[in-house]
Homo-oligomer: A and B are copies of this chain.
């Protein structure tokens, strides 16, 4: 396997994984392409490399910028815009974890909290609803907090400690 094949394999695999995670194929592939590109790419180059339309490239590049994992880069002497991906994988993980937490977990936790706080009318089904949503609330909150801590501040201590157990 040489460069071209490897690159295509990486891009398509990343795209497929993205799909499973609710990120559309084009967006995941654009990210993959920029991630392995040594230099920033223009929209034209992205379209060309991935065989996608101008509109698609434009919208998904903006999507990636909204996620905070792709930046516009100014190339001196060039009029058009160039794009580059965050290259530090740990920073990438930090951003993704944070954004997913904010966009998905947050709203869910709020509903779970709300539902688990309804008045107990004494019926079996109400009690079951309260009990289960309370448990779920606790689980989701704990998992979310762990994830955030892990990719954030206490990163080093926790990573080091956990790594001992993983070896």
Contact = CB atoms under 8 A, between A and B. Distances in A.
A154 interface: yes
A132 B33 CA distance: 11
B166 A3 contact: no
Given A37-B125, A158-B165, A161-B161, 10 more contacts: A3-B118, A3-B123, A6-B118, A10-B112, A20-B104, A36-B132, A38-B124, A38-B127, A89-B135, A93-B143
Contact of A145 (B87, B133, B149, B166): B166
A9 B114 contact: yes
Nearest to A20: B22
A2 B161 contact: no
A146 interface: yes
Given A89-B136, A111-B10, A162-B146, A37 B118 contact: no
Contacts of A107: 13
A166 B139 contact: no
Nearest to A130: B6
Interface in A110-146: 111-112, 114-115, 118-119, 121, 123-129, 132-133, 135-136, 138-139, 142-143, 145-146
